[in-house]
Amino acid sequence: MSKFWSPVVVRLTPYVPGEQPKITNLIKLNTNENPYGPSPRVLAALKDAAADPLRLYPDPNADDLKATIARYHDLTPAHVFVGNGSDEVLAHAFMALLKHDRPLYFPDISYSFYPVYCGLYDISYRAVPVDEAYRIDVNDYDADAGAVIFPNPNAPTGRLLGLADIEALLTRLPDVVVVVDEAYIDFGGDSAIALVQRHPNLLVVQTLSKSRSLAGLRVGFAVGHPDLIEGLERVKNSFNSYPLDRPAQLGAIASFEDEAYFQEARAKVIASREWLIEDLQELGFDVLPSAANFVFARHPQRDAGELAAALRQRAILVRHFKAPRIEQFLRISIGNDAECEALVKALSEIL
Ligand code: PMP
């Protein structure tokens, strides 16, 4: 602590990211990365990007990338905002769209960055408990909300909310912005992007970190009514007018141009998830239904913290959150088949 810190910084409880170990011979199932790596087209584009004139600033508006994303989702570039990973896109949304006189609503059990942003931007919030099956009930979200945000599928539970529920919320609260954080949507849900043309109060945020295996490149985007997007652009141009570097813009475009690779990689992750859930259940775990590239599981007889530590001793990293209601769960990212098999083998030895 320094006497030079502002009161906001003194009060902050920053987000603690999952461990990124320097040792590479670990089986890393703790931060929901994609085991398959990006499309070869992305790697080729990044090689070309190395020959790109890095002495020049990148396109501040990322026009080509926005046009690519717009085409992919059948929208216009005015519907699209891009940033350095969806965390940064979310930060812009918090700054641009959230109200200071009314609370932000989000689920209690959700992405733990949301309360951190609330602290940073001095926004009050209400954490609405998920139900006994860890589901979000949209009826719990009231018109007095300044805005609503939730991940879909939710993190770290993996539970999915259907588009009918999301549309009912958008229709019931037309004056409330609803931000749907779809970091994991490609692993098992229908995107709310389909609702953007009908609901000007909807902002959908996605990332290339998970289903497109580009967590190291840092690209995320938001899709919504052009008026919402303009608000985010105003923040961006008051903060960092070059949101994405040149390689990131080129690599991201290449990723959208390889649909076959994208579909194949996500299908492999989904297939592994389904057999991993069965194997975990055979070992006695309760596993929540998952529409994401991770599973959320607890063992009725064994302490989750101890299991995580025992796995770590066997060079397998999983995530254990100490928050109320979920302290007995492990969040396990879906690796490739060999990694998932090693996890099951290690757990069967530990149990
Ligand atoms: N939203 C959710 C729900 C997440 O779990 C994550 C990953 N930690 C993000 C957003 C951010 O992902 P990224 O910044 O890599 O796009």
Ligand 1 atom closest to residue 210's alpha carbon, by position in its atom list = 15
> Can you give the pLDDT at residue 133?
97
**Is the CB of residue 166 less than 8 Å from the CB of residue 152?**
yes
**Is the CB of residue 193 less than 8 Å from the CB of residue 216?**
no
Backbone angles phi, psi at 326, to 5 degrees: -120, 15
Ligand 1 atom closest to residue 207's alpha carbon, by position in its atom list = 16
Question: Strands, DSSP E only, in 196-241?
Answer: 202-207, 220-224
On whether ipTM exceeds 0.95, the answer is yes
**Measured between alpha carbons, how far is 163 from 193 in angstroms, rounded to an integer?**
10
CA 262, 273, 165 angle in degrees (round to 5)? Answer: 80
- Give the Å distance between the CA of 349 and the centre of ligand 1: 32
> Can you give the pLDDT at residue 53?
87
127: left (phi over 0), alpha (psi -120 to 50) or beta: beta
Based on the number of CB atoms within 10 Å of its own CB, is 350 exposed (0-12), middle (13-18) or buried (19 or more)? middle
- Give the Å distance between the CA of 71 and the centre of ligand 1: 23
According to the 3-state scheme, what is the secondary structure of 274-330? HHHHHHHHHCCCEECCCCCCEEEEECCCCCHHHHHHHHHHCCEECECCCCCCCCCEE
**Measured between alpha carbons, how far is 191 from 207 in angstroms, rounded to an integer?**
12
- Give the Å distance between the CA of 146 and the centre of ligand 1: 22
- Give the Å distance between the CA of 184 and the centre of ligand 1: 9
AA letter at 247 = P
**Ligand 1 test: best mutation among 20, 33, 86, most atoms within 8 Å of CB?**
86
- Give the Å distance between the CA of 255 and the centre of ligand 1: 18
**Ligand 1 test: best mutation among 87, 109, 116, most atoms within 8 Å of CB?**
87
Ligand 1 atom closest to residue 208's alpha carbon, by position in its atom list = 16
Which residues line the pocket of ligand 1, CB cutoff 6 A?
85-87, 111, 151, 155, 181, 183, 207, 209, 215, 220
Residue 332: strand pairing partners: 295
**Ligand 1 test: best mutation among 149, 186, 209, 213, most atoms within 8 Å of CB?**
209
**Ligand 1 test: best mutation among 111, 114, 117, 213, most atoms within 8 Å of CB?**
111
**Is the CB of residue 104 less than 8 Å from the CB of residue 98?**
yes
Q: Which helix (H) or strand (E) holds 85?
A: helix 85-97
- Write down the residue that tokens 């199932």 correspond to: 29
Per residue of the chain (351 residues), give pLDDT as tens.
999 999 889 999 899 888 888 877 899 999 999 999 999 999 999 999 888 888 999 999 999 999 999 999 999 999 999 999 999 999 999 999 998 899 999 999 999 999 999 999 999 999 999 999 999 999 999 889 999 999 999 999 999 999 999 999 999 999 999 999 999 999 999 999 999 999 999 999 999 999 999 999 999 999 999 999 999 999 999 988 888 999 999 999 999 999 999 999 999 999 999 999 999 999 999 999 999 999 999 999 999 999 999 999 999 999 999 999 999 999 999 999 999 999 999 999 999
* Closest C-alpha to 262, from 69, 28, 37: 37
**Measured between alpha carbons, how far is 350 from 316 in angstroms, rounded to an integer?**
12
Q: What angle do the packed helices 226-236 and 85-97 form, to 10 degrees?
A: 100
Atom 1 (ligand 1) nearest CA:
183
- Give the Å distance between the CA of 43 and the centre of ligand 1: 22
Helices (H) and strands (E) in the chain, counts: 11, 12
Atom 2 (ligand 1) nearest CA:
183
- Give the Å distance between the CA of 60 and the centre of ligand 1: 23
Atom 4 (ligand 1) nearest CA:
183
Estimate to the nearest angstrom the gap between the alpha carbon of 299 and the chain centroid: 26
**Measured between alpha carbons, how far is 204 from 196 in angstroms, rounded to an integer?**
8
Atom 12 (ligand 1) nearest CA:
86
> Can you give the pLDDT at residue 99?
86
- Give the Å distance between the CA of 87 and the centre of ligand 1: 6
CA 250, 39, 246 angle in degrees (round to 5)? Answer: 15
